[in-house]
Amino acid sequence: MKNKILVYGAGAIGRGYIPWIFPSDRYELSFVENNSELRGLLQKQKEFTTYRTKSGQYVKLICEFKDCFDLGEEDPTDYDGIITAVGARQVYALIDSLSNVDCPIVLFENDSKIPLELSELTGKSNIYFGVPDVITSNTAPAEMLEQDPLSIVTEDGVCFVEDGAVDLGGDISYVSQEELSKQWTAKLYLHNTPHCIAAYLGAMHGKTYLHESMARDSIYSIVEGAMNEMSRTLIQLFDLDKEFVEWYSKKELARFSNVLLYDPVLRVAREPFRKLGLHDRLIGAAQLSLSVGVMPNNLTLGIMSAFLYDEEHDEDFHIKILMNSLEKEKFLKLIINVNPHEALYKLLVKKWDESIDTLKGI
């Protein structure tokens, strides 16, 4: 008998990566998706295609699933495991749904604070953090989409989850909270930080996909520079092995440049205010680097490129309104919440105009 897994979110991770770690010979997947167009297509097709890139080639998997529900139609108590991959802001809409569930609930939400917050809000202790260390596009090349409009492309990644959820099984590394924290730190600052910088720089220059952005030498150079700044920071802060960090960094740059992934700039750059959180991948990263005496020159350019993100359909489209309305000091203090007494504030103010000129010229 197969284990039944309910997946909230049939986007990049949900559709692209989950079927690879919960194979169909052992697991039966169902989805909850609130995008009516996507849900309609899933309900109509009852299957979709996910491609994994490996050794420069695609490996194809057709995922047949049991159900696809609208939010509220599902009965989450009817499953052996719950996965969420809906987005860090959207996951709070699931509080009611998760409050009566006793099976392991794993959150793939790119924010280590959320499992604790949801545990408090729901009163449940079966909520765990997961780190899928993988880049998954939310689309695919045109020829794949012609064959199956639900096609999606993912990397051959690895997945770490807190060991409390071990009953869930699957192709997952279950690790201690301490080990997961180390993996998350590495992912947040060596993957997420340069990844989103590549996206913001690409957006500034009209690129559609990450690999197109990374193909531009001037962008690659800033992304690599930010990666180096974070590598030096993490080695000093967490006593990480230098060889491991260098290997990880090199691997990451290759991942961002993967021409098979078709990872959209819009996906990676979305919600800049979340990424500019005080402890998140941009401001948080620069604060860490300053704390150990590493000058965040490239990180600063990355932060500025996020400030300048101009996408009218993004949830955080109003970043442009605020950048246009406010003087830089006010923007940093009131909107980004950086304290004027901090070194990062002074650095950003000092380099503001120079950074904008540099970014325009890349």
Partner 1 sequence: MILNRLEIAINAAVSAGDLLMDHYGKVYGIKNKESLRDVVSEIDELSESKVMSILQESDPGCTVLTEEKGLIGPDSDSRWIVDALDGTVNYIHNIPFFCVSISYWVDNRPSIGAIYNPYSGDIYYAEKGVGCFVNQKRLHLLDVELGNNLTAMAFSGKAYNPSMRSTEFGIFGQLNDLSQGCLRTGSAAMNLSYLSHGKFSLVMGKANKLWDVAAGLLIAEEAGADVKFNMTDKQKHLVDYIAATPSSKKKIYTDIDMSYFDL
The binding site for partner 1 (CB under 8 A) comprises 273, 315-316, 318-319, 321-322, 324-326, 330, 333-336
Q: How many helices (H) and strands (E) does the chain have?
A: 17, 11
Beta bridge partners of 49: 62
Determine how many CB atoms are found less than 10 A away from the CB of residue 89.
15
Query: What does the angle CA 114 – CA 123 – CA 129 come to, to the nearest 5 degrees?
Result: 30
Pull the structure tokens for residue 39: 């849900």
Q: Which is nearer to partner 1, 58 or 92 (CB)?
A: 92
For partner 1, which is the closer residue by CB, 153 or 282?
Answer: 282
Minimum gap (Å) between residue 321 Cβ and partner 1: 6
Q: How far is the CB of 332 from partner 1 (least distance, A)?
A: 12
- The Cα 18–Cα 20 span in angstroms is 5
Smallest distance from partner 1 to CB 316, Å: 7
Of 135 and 319, which has the nearer Cβ to partner 1?
Answer: 319
Contact between 256 and 223 under an 8 Å Cβ cutoff? The reply is: yes
Nearer to partner 1, 147 or 339 (CB): 339
Please say whether the beta carbons of 165 and 43 come within 8 A.
no
Q: Which is nearer to partner 1, 262 or 273 (CB)?
A: 273
How far apart, in whole angstroms, are the C-alpha atoms of residue 16 and residue 3?
19
Smallest gap from Cβ 357 to partner 1, in A, equals: 15
Nearer to partner 1, 291 or 339 (CB): 339
**Residue 15 carries which side chain, given as an amino acid letter?**
R
Nearest distance from residue 325's CB to partner 1, in Å?
A: 4
Cα angle value 265/215/306 (rounded, 5°): 40
Question: Closest separation between CB of residue 44 and partner 1, Å?
Answer: 32
**Cβ neighbours of 334 (radius 10 Å):** 11
Q: Are 107 and 81 a contacting pair, CB within 8 Å?
A: no
5 beta partners = 29, 81
CA atoms within 13 A on the CB side of 55: 1
| Shortest distance, position 333 Cβ to partner 1, whole Å | 7
Length of the chain: 362
CA-to-CA distance for 80 and 27, rounded, in angstroms?
10
| Shortest separation between residue 191's beta carbon and partner 1, angstroms | 24
Is 254 or 334 the residue whose CB approaches partner 1 more closely? Answer: 334
Alpha-carbon separation of residue 123 from 81, 113, 351 (angstroms): 18, 15, 46
- Provide the 3-class DSSP secondary structure of residue 53: strand
Q: Which is nearer to partner 1, 291 or 325 (CB)?
A: 325
Minimum CB–partner distance for residue 97 and partner 1 (Å): 17
- Compute the least distance from the CB of residue 154 to partner 1, in Å: 30
DSSP string, 298-335: HHHHHHHHHHT---TTSTTTHHHHHHHHS-HHHIIIII
The smaller minimum CB distance to partner 1, of residues 4 and 274, is found at 274
Q: Which of 301, 103, 328 shows the shortest CA–CA distance to 196?
A: 301
The residue among 63 and 91 lying less far from partner 1, judged by its C-beta, is 91
